[in-house]
Chains A and B, each alone.
Chain A
């Protein structure tokens, strides 16, 4: 089947590779367990073929051919996803979106049209040169793609002020598993069904997003920060809630362990950014409002290091396993949830560090981003146990399963806890769109 599909792909003029090096490149996403396989010179999986379509039409042709032969297709953007989603466990086709890389800036209407394979960091750099910004800034900005953001319902560091990817999205084009292309009339807003949102967080189950139109913002002239120290997470969270009335662009609360890492300070630290017109006066009000002790420079320190993930490369070769667990909760549950999840992780034998920061804030609540590192004898067993205990503690204390990384394969056992009865609707939609179940098979549910 795959051979005939490859022949047809080639005949359709699509760039196709069966080279070993391309297969190795498309063998996994960034789930931390995969890194240990790489260290052993093993690949977690291998596709039979990698395809590099250059247009929506070519994506459509790929899916039509794959559908005809029932060949599984795994969609790859930057492969920075952390939930073991696109890993091609059944071989088949790895579909790389990276050649979909056109960028058109519409300065007049404050929007940008970008191919799904455009890499965030480059897009932001080009926009900055023209005086604009996406203000969508996941820590993976430099290695993730526009299409990946939509597919995973990504959230950036400035989401508190500007919203998550779903709030920044104006329009998109997608190709359904049978090759049909769907798009809509672009408009700043519309009533009626907003079905493009089906693709937000769909993790490649329902179609391939090929083009995305997003809002852009003028680079702010004013940019002010505040840094505040606290003795407890509870005090910091209460202040963050109050600060929301001042419309901050960004808030983060680092617990005492992360404060040591970033600021050499064994306290809980809140940083906030105010930007745009009137930012100065809002920052001044904020300083008067907070109950903690005002400090200097922490926000700048973090801003300078916010894309540095080199610790991963330092600890993994020694046999450490790490991961991050991001969950959302309402204000009322925040302090308890923080402590319970940290304790749950610490109780697993092998845990070396367990820490958290609150990273995204809403009128009604926030997201906690837990980071753990362990040095266990059995990496995989330890890893699964931490996840089990942490998600259990989150659900028990009012938290959810995922704020922005997604479900993938890693969290599929908790999908019903997350979306309840909607799971059967999701399955129905999947069956309707993808009768032969070719797209990202095994992601979210079996």
Chain B
């Protein structure tokens, strides 16, 4: 909406020819698509982008990635994949633009070697988890959906133990992938197949809990009643000095910021906030599929993030836990339960 006072000043100060031309264009004001608007921005979230911070080239900076997206016609660029679903950009953007959301749409328009290779690597990793889940199958009211990274980070057994001690009536079903990697790579058909299977599975239960904020976010976005595990944890006496690393998706998409701090407080822990915390957190580098595309830079982001802490890091995400060599809040609870 343009302020009427501005309009009357424009009418008073502008020559007639321009006024007539303006009349046609004013209704379109601010309606350009997000990629275009972001490309025209001077990179006002550059200082927050973890991928840029690790790679140190403008090519992977938010606004330039938008430029490369805009320029993608017959082919696309590798930098389009150098993005985390962290939304540090969106969190600061006055136009509420998520660069990654927009780049995902560009990725979806191209069949690339980068995506194919990433899928190969990810699927190899996924297969490893199948057997482990099968051996733990059980029935219950709430589906415990570990997500692939819970296995990878060795949190699966620990979480099962905690859920048992908490007397939660939980089930473990066939191992499924929430489809996030396909989604992030813009492989929407494969994503649809994956999430439909998850939906079918989830429909047999009252709800779903997961360690992984990304699984929870994806499930919720697709109509599944899912909650992060933090909502079922109970405080136990632990004590000591800790810093909480807010997983990007937990803080920014699931809006879970105060809960872990409250829980840690009730566990007698002193919490020391790092630089970049709460909704202004900083990605650990292991978000989305970036780790399967640019592993060395994902590690760089992780080491950059670790430098922000001077106390033991606690987090609530299997990926962040692995990246930062942190303790997951489930483990902390499990140790004393």
Chain A interfacial positions (CB closer than 8 Å to B): 17, 19-22, 24-26, 30, 35, 38-39, 41, 50, 52, 76, 78-80, 96, 98-99, 101, 117, 119-122, 125-126, 128-129, 140-143, 257, 260-261, 264, 266, 307-310, 312-319, 346, 349-354, 374-377
- In the docked arrangement, what's the CA distance between A101 and B54, Å? 10
The answer on a CB contact under 8 Å between A140 and B42 is yes
The answer on a CB contact under 8 Å between A52 and B44 is no
Report 24 cross-chain contacts, Cβ distance below 8 Å, ordered by A residue: A19-B59, A22-B57, A22-B59, A24-B59, A25-B58, A25-B79, A96-B56, A121-B47, A142-B46, A142-B48, A264-B5, A309-B94, A312-B40, A313-B32, A313-B41, A350-B18, A352-B14, A352-B18, A353-B6, A353-B10, A353-B13, A375-B18, A375-B25, A377-B21
The answer on a CB contact under 8 Å between B25 and A125 is no
Residue of A50, A125, A128, A310 touching B41 (CB-CB under 8 A): A310
Residue of A140, A315, A349 touching B29 (CB-CB under 8 A): A315
Interface bits B307-331 vs A (CB < 8 Å: 1, else 0): 0000000000000000000000000
Does B337 count as interface, using CB distance less than 8 angstroms? no
The answer on a CB contact under 8 Å between A79 and B58 is yes
The answer on a CB contact under 8 Å between B36 and A317 is yes
Interface majority SS (helix, strand, loop, mixed), chain A: mixed
Residue of A20, A21, A25, A143 touching B47 (CB-CB under 8 A): A143
The answer on a CB contact under 8 Å between A314 and B29 is yes
Nearest B residue to A30 via CB reads: B42
- In the docked arrangement, what's the CA distance between A232 and B103, Å? 48
- In the docked arrangement, what's the CA distance between A41 and B94, Å? 25
**What residues of chain A lie closer than 8 Å to B191, measured between beta carbons?**
none
Rounded to whole Å, the gap between the CB of A309 and the closest CB of chain B is 6
**What residues of chain B lie closer than 8 Å to A349, measured between beta carbons?**
15, 17-18
Rounded to whole Å, the gap between the CB of A133 and the closest CB of chain B is 14
The answer on a CB contact under 8 Å between A21 and B59 is yes
The answer on a CB contact under 8 Å between B18 and A21 is no
**What residues of chain B lie closer than 8 Å to A99, measured between beta carbons?**
56
Say yes or no: A318-B28 contact (C-beta < 8 A), given A96-B58, A117-B56, A266-B5.
yes
- In the docked arrangement, what's the CA distance between A4 and B3, Å? 58
**What residues of chain B lie closer than 8 Å to A264, measured between beta carbons?**
3, 5
Rounded to whole Å, the gap between the CB of B56 and the closest CB of chain A is 4
Residues of B186-200 at the interface with A, using a CB-CB cut-off of 8 Å, are none
Rounded to whole Å, the gap between the CB of A190 and the closest CB of chain B is 33
**What residues of chain B lie closer than 8 Å to A377, measured between beta carbons?**
21
Does B30 count as interface, using CB distance less than 8 angstroms? yes
Say yes or no: A351-B18 contact (C-beta < 8 A), given A25-B58, A313-B38, A318-B28.
yes
Does B171 count as interface, using CB distance less than 8 angstroms? no
The answer on a CB contact under 8 Å between B22 and A352 is yes
Say yes or no: A312-B276 contact (C-beta < 8 A), given A353-B10, A354-B13.
no
Rounded to whole Å, the gap between the CB of B116 and the closest CB of chain A is 19
Nearest B residue to A124 via CB reads: B47
Rounded to whole Å, the gap between the CB of B68 and the closest CB of chain A is 6
**What residues of chain B lie closer than 8 Å to A35, measured between beta carbons?**
40
**What residues of chain B lie closer than 8 Å to A143, measured between beta carbons?**
42-44, 46-47
Does B110 count as interface, using CB distance less than 8 angstroms? no
**What residues of chain B lie closer than 8 Å to A96, measured between beta carbons?**
56-58
The answer on a CB contact under 8 Å between A260 and B41 is no
**What residues of chain B lie closer than 8 Å to A142, measured between beta carbons?**
43-48, 92
Nearest A residue to B68 via CB reads: A21
Residue of A98, A308, A351, A375 touching B57 (CB-CB under 8 A): A98
**What residues of chain A lie closer than 8 Å to B28, measured between beta carbons?**
318
Rounded to whole Å, the gap between the CB of A377 and the closest CB of chain B is 8
The answer on a CB contact under 8 Å between A52 and B57 is yes
- In the docked arrangement, what's the CA distance between A22 and B18, Å? 39
Does B173 count as interface, using CB distance less than 8 angstroms? no
Rounded to whole Å, the gap between the CB of B108 and the closest CB of chain A is 19
The answer on a CB contact under 8 Å between A375 and B40 is no
The answer on a CB contact under 8 Å between A129 and B46 is no
- In the docked arrangement, what's the CA distance between A35 and B40, Å? 6
The answer on a CB contact under 8 Å between A52 and B14 is no
Residues of B209-239 at the interface with A, using a CB-CB cut-off of 8 Å, are none
**What residues of chain B lie closer than 8 Å to A98, measured between beta carbons?**
56-58
Residue with the highest number of chain A CB atoms closer than 10 Å, among B25, B41, B42, B67: B42
- In the docked arrangement, what's the CA distance between A122 and B54, Å? 13
- In the docked arrangement, what's the CA distance between A146 and B217, Å? 38
Does B166 count as interface, using CB distance less than 8 angstroms? no
Does B78 count as interface, using CB distance less than 8 angstroms? yes
**What residues of chain A lie closer than 8 Å to B67, measured between beta carbons?**
24-25, 38
The answer on a CB contact under 8 Å between B6 and A317 is no
Nearest B residue to A351 via CB reads: B14
Residue with the highest number of chain B CB atoms closer than 10 Å, among A126, A141, A143, A319: A143
The answer on a CB contact under 8 Å between A122 and B53 is yes
Rounded to whole Å, the gap between the CB of B16 and the closest CB of chain A is 10
What 8 A-B pairs are tightest by C-beta distance, nearest first? A121-B47, A313-B37, A317-B32, A129-B275, A25-B59, A314-B30, A21-B77, A143-B43
**What residues of chain B lie closer than 8 Å to A26, measured between beta carbons?**
58-59
**What residues of chain A lie closer than 8 Å to B9, measured between beta carbons?**
257, 260, 353
**What residues of chain A lie closer than 8 Å to B41, measured between beta carbons?**
309-310, 312-313
Say yes or no: A350-B15 contact (C-beta < 8 A), given A126-B275, A318-B28.
yes
Interface bits B43-71 vs A (CB < 8 Å: 1, else 0): 11111100001001111010010011011
Does B39 count as interface, using CB distance less than 8 angstroms? yes
The answer on a CB contact under 8 Å between B77 and A309 is no
Say yes or no: A38-B46 contact (C-beta < 8 A), given A21-B59, A96-B58, A122-B53.
no
Say yes or no: A122-B32 contact (C-beta < 8 A), given A26-B58, A261-B3.
no
The answer on a CB contact under 8 Å between B42 and A309 is yes
Does B95 count as interface, using CB distance less than 8 angstroms? yes
Residues of B93-122 at the interface with A, using a CB-CB cut-off of 8 Å, are 94-95
Rounded to whole Å, the gap between the CB of B136 and the closest CB of chain A is 43
Rounded to whole Å, the gap between the CB of B271 and the closest CB of chain A is 15
**What residues of chain B lie closer than 8 Å to A128, measured between beta carbons?**
275
The answer on a CB contact under 8 Å between A76 and B45 is no
**What residues of chain A lie closer than 8 Å to B64, measured between beta carbons?**
24-25
